[in-house]
Amino acid sequence: MASSTSEGPLEELLAPVVAQSGLELDSVIRSRSDAMPLLRVIVEAPIGAGGIDSDTLADVSRAVSKALDAADPIDGEYLLEVSTPGAERELTKVGHWMRQIGRLVRIKLRAGGYVSGRVVAADETSATIDVDGETTIIDYQDMRKARSRVDFGSGD
């Protein structure tokens, strides 16, 4: 059975390395399982920037690997994975919401039920969602879970 934990000290080590590549560190997660341990480093483009191309991702991956080799913060062997959060990522930080402005999301509410729509705005406490032409402000504390959604468009 696999388990994972967020790695604060590794985030402190790797954030400046990722920043040198012009990217932002989203998270560092160490997964433990019966197989070889996995260190997953999730990076993002800054808010307002485009996506991350494969060359940039490869460059940051090499830089992260070098930094980990030099600091040697992990005992034993492990697999390193440097990637982006993916198209349908869980939204857990204000920065995640800021990056979703103009994009589709699905929110599971603590009170029950779901809200799906397009993010119009986001701030430190809430997100404003356009649901079928009507805007709804939802406090983050009222959300049980939220994910970005892939927008296939209408084809118009």
Cα 52 to the chain's mean position, in Å?
13
Domain 8-83: which topology?
GMP Synthetase; Chain A, domain 3 (3.30.300)
Q: Do domains 8-83 and 94-148 have the same CATH topology?
A: no
Tokens matching residue 111: 């009170």
115 token code pair:
């809200």
SS in 3 state form for 46-74? CCCCCCCCHHHHHHHHHHHHHHHHHHCCC
Using one digit for the tens of pLDDT, what is the confidence trace for 62-85? 999 999 999 988 888 899 999 998
Count Cβ atoms within 10 A of the Cβ of residue 151 and give its class: 0-12 exposed, 13-18 middle, 19 or more buried. exposed
- Tell me whether residue 9 is exposed, middle or buried, using C-beta atoms within 10 angstroms of its C-beta: 0 to 12, 13 to 18, 19 or more: exposed
Instruction: Give per-residue pLDDT as tens, 5-23.
Output: 556 789 999 999 999 999 9
Is 0.85 surpassed by the pTM of this model? no
**CATH fold group of domain 94-148:** SH3 type barrels. (2.30.30)
| Torsion sign (Cα): 11, 102, 144, 1 | negative
* pLDDT level of residue 91 (50, 70, 90 thresholds): very high
**How much is the mean pLDDT over the chain?**
89
Q: Which residues pair with 104 in a beta bridge?
A: 118
Q: In what order do the strands lie in the sheet with 79-83?
A: 3-6, 24-32, 38-44, 79-83
Q: At residue 128, does pLDDT exceed 50?
A: yes
Report domain extents, the chain. 8-83, 94-148
Q: Which of 4-8, 11-15, 24-28, 33-37 has the lowest mean pLDDT?
A: 4-8
